Amino acid sequence: MAARSLRRNLGAATAALALLTASAGPGHAQGQAAVYDPQPPPDSAYVRFVNALGEDLQLRPAFLPAQRLGTKPEERVTSFGVAQRVTGGREMVVEASAGSRTGRAALKFEPGSFNTIIVQAQGNSLVMKPVVDQADFNRARSRLSFYNATPDCASASAVLAPNGPAVLEQVAPGTAKARSVNPVTADIRADCAPGQSAPTFKLSGLEAGGMYSIWLMRPDGRNLISFISRDTTARWRG
């Protein structure tokens, strides 16, 4: 009976993964930016910020309006904004503060690129970890990215819960992996290591052509959290 039960569980997990997965590959889809009108100048890049801290974050980018990021899942990730005149290795300065911690970074972006800046604590300071997202858009599928925003998690995975195979795996700290998936509903668990997992959450509401990000972080330095957000691009108004 136990063997039959195990075979049924494995079979169900494999079927769910087959349904979820459409095609695998690196990168992060941001094709919806192409539909916005007007278009930003060709020397522009797209930038968003992520609060991986246990407290509210204040950001003062020199190239975008000041922003405040909270600690609820829906408050942690900004839309992609347009940074202009990024050519020639120009440094784009960002100042950040959260409680008594402060940080400053001079970032460089390639024209036309999409960039995710993860803000994390390092001792008494704040550090900003840039991740370059590859533009790879599929109108018939959903794009699902998995970001490891946990510095002490050497290899993170997003798996089908409760005991299913990995949807995205071996994601190093401060990096991301992505793949195209069918827009279905599934329970997802983000793992850091055996016995170190964030609470399971439901993957639902995906739409064909939509872009979504799964986040794994440890804001309080102890407990892992994971959640999903839809990727959006703020309209450029010229």
163 — pLDDT class (breaks 50, 70, 90): confident
Non-local CB neighbours of 15 within 8 Å, separated by 6+ positions: none
Instruction: Give strand ranges (E) for the chain.
Output: 21-24, 45-51, 57-61, 67-69, 81-83, 92-98, 101-107, 114-122, 125-133, 142-149, 156-160, 166-171, 176-181, 186-193, 196-197, 201-203, 211-217, 225-230
List phi, psi (to 5°) of 48: -130, 160
Rounded Cα–Cα distance for residues 183 and 20 (Å): 7
Taking residues 22-38, report their average pLDDT: 45
Task: With cut-offs at 50, 70 and 90, classify the pLDDT of residue 139.
Answer: confident
pLDDT tens per residue across span 61-83: 999 999 999 999 999 999 999 99
> What pLDDT digit, counting tens, does each position of 34-53 carry?
454 578 899 999 999 999 99
C-alpha neighbours within 13 Å on the C-beta side of residue 120: 18
Q: Are 92 and 128 in contact (CB under 8 A)?
A: no
Copy the structure tokens of residue 106.
């001079």
| Amino acid 69: pLDDT | 98
The average pLDDT across 6-14 equals 38
pTM for this model (two decimals): 0.85
What pLDDT was estimated at residue 129? 96
Using one digit for the tens of pLDDT, what is the confidence trace for 165-194?
A: 899 999 999 999 999 998 889 999 999 987
DSSP string, 32-63: GGGG-SSPPPTT-EEEEEEE-SSS-EEEEETT
